[in-house]
Amino acid sequence: MSKQWPDLKKEMDNIQVPLEKLDKIIQNTAPQLKKKKSKLKIVSYTAGAAAVALFIFVGSASVSPAMAKIASHVPLIGTFFNDVQDEGLQIAGQKGLTQIIDQSSKDSGITLTITEMFYDGTRLVFGYTQESLFAIGELERPTLEVNGREINFSSSYSGDFITPQKYKGMVEINPTEELPEEFELNMRIDAIGIIPGNWNFQFHVKQSNQVMVLRPEEVRMIEGANVKINSLKIGPAGTDLAVQVNSKEEMDFQPFDLEFFVVDDGGNVLDQLGKDAHGETENGVVETQVGYLFSPLKEGAKKLRVIPYKLENNFPLEKVMIPLEGQKYPFKFSQGDFGAITVTEIQSNEEQIIVYFDVNSESLYDNRLTRNPIWLEDEQGNSLVLEEAPFAKRIEGNSFKQVFKASEIERAHLATFQYPEPIMYDEFELQVPDK
């Protein structure tokens, strides 16, 4: 994100309007909005308001590239999740599975708008915008009531500034208990950043009906603890694995250390997106509920392997540094017991460095290499990892690429750690019924 904000008045006074681009946006958006009319009456009103906003930009006679960029990032009602980094929410947005809220609340000079939400039993996510003289950014933890009863939950936040005065963000809620398919939600936010206030929202939430729930009854014994899959929910925006772990209080077993690979019958490993846990002790037995959120299941999968594993505790991670100067392709460097990386090509220009590489390992790994990442550092040891794209991306098979910040490539270093092999346990096998 640029550190220098454009002077909006000067920008409006200068400029060349990208009329064709804006016209296309409006033309392409109008048919989509008409299709969504039957969902909520409010759509036709808010869609019109969004279109008016676009015409205001066009009618201002001229718009600089900076203003055009801002215009292209203003979220249209009904399209909030379409361009987020999260693949599952992109799918939900593009399929029209989100619920339009468009509710605003103002206090302390800050207008907060809940624009859209998505709920399918695997994920509960809210999209919002925040507007003020100088937008603050992320929200403080909200208070949530479901059908009048306050719930416990963990949460995660993400977002970015559209302009100095406007912030677009998402809140993902992970309840500690299963929510009903349909409910009234009250949301209260007491602070935005360091600014106290009172922002209240109330709306109806209805679960998307495109969710499949598997409830296997199998139990595995892992290091003396009983591990049971309570449910596996398969939805368009993600795959939710709910696990119950029963262990004796005196045991050394830590349920939160337990991880899972979810692999379909095509060999595709789902990416883990999140994790939460809570538990209680009764009569010397600790019952822990652990939730894992994974990326969406690929179409056509018939069988799933759910494989428990742990990473070795107290393993000394030894850093490996490989200077790029003088390297000839392909070249290989070790990731310890986990395997090795073979770099096949590196491309660079003024804007970025792209590293192409293969993973050589007998262990399972996901599409982003979250368990065995590599990264680039400049000659001062500063990380060149992109904040907006911090992970590698699978091309196919064991081939990956990762984009990094631009730097003097001859002075840069590739870095990784010597990783241990994961400790694997007996897997669960699940059948995916036809829809």
pLDDT tens per residue, range 123-172: 899 999 999 988 787 788 999 999 999 999 989 898 888 898 999 999 99
pLDDT of residue 392 exceeding 60, the answer is: yes
- CA dist 287 and 253 (Å) reads 12
CB 354 within 8 A of CB 402: yes
The closest alpha carbon to 289, from 159, 175, 137, 434, belongs to 175
pLDDT, tens digit, for every residue of 17-40?
344 433 443 344 333 333 333 322
Retrieve residue 52's tokens. 């008016």
Query: When comparing pLDDT for 37 and 380, which is higher?
Result: 380
| Among candidate residues 214, 231, 116, 228, the one with its CA nearest the CA of residue 178 | 231
Residue type, 254: Q
Residue 223: left if φ>0, alpha if ψ -120 to 50, beta else—which one?
left
What CA–CA distances, in Å, run from 125 to 81, 109, 122, 169, 391? Answer: 10, 25, 10, 10, 22
Which of 98, 84, 87, 116 has the alpha carbon at shortest distance from 207?
A: 98
CA atoms of 236 and 299, how far apart (whole Å): 10
Tens digits of residue pLDDT in 252-277: 888 889 999 999 999 999 999 889 88
Cα 257 from Cα 259, distance rounded (Å): 6
CATH number, span 8-206: 2.60.40.1630
359 Cβ contact partners less than 8 Å away, ≥ 6 residues apart: 339, 341, 365, 369, 372, 398, 400
pLDDT given for residue 383 in this prediction = 96
Phi-psi region of 288 (alpha: psi -120 to 50; beta: other; left: phi over 0): beta
Helices first, then strands: H and E counts in the chain? 5, 27
Could you please state the CATH topology (level 3) that the domain comprising 212-314+423-431 is classified under: Immunoglobulin-like (2.60.40)
Locate CATH 2.60.40.1630 in the chain. Answer: 8-206
* pLDDT tens digits for range 201-234: 999 999 887 788 899 988 999 999 999 999 999 9
Question: Which single residue is written with the structure tokens 């990892």?
Answer: 385
CATH fold for the domain made of 318-418: Immunoglobulin-like (2.60.40)
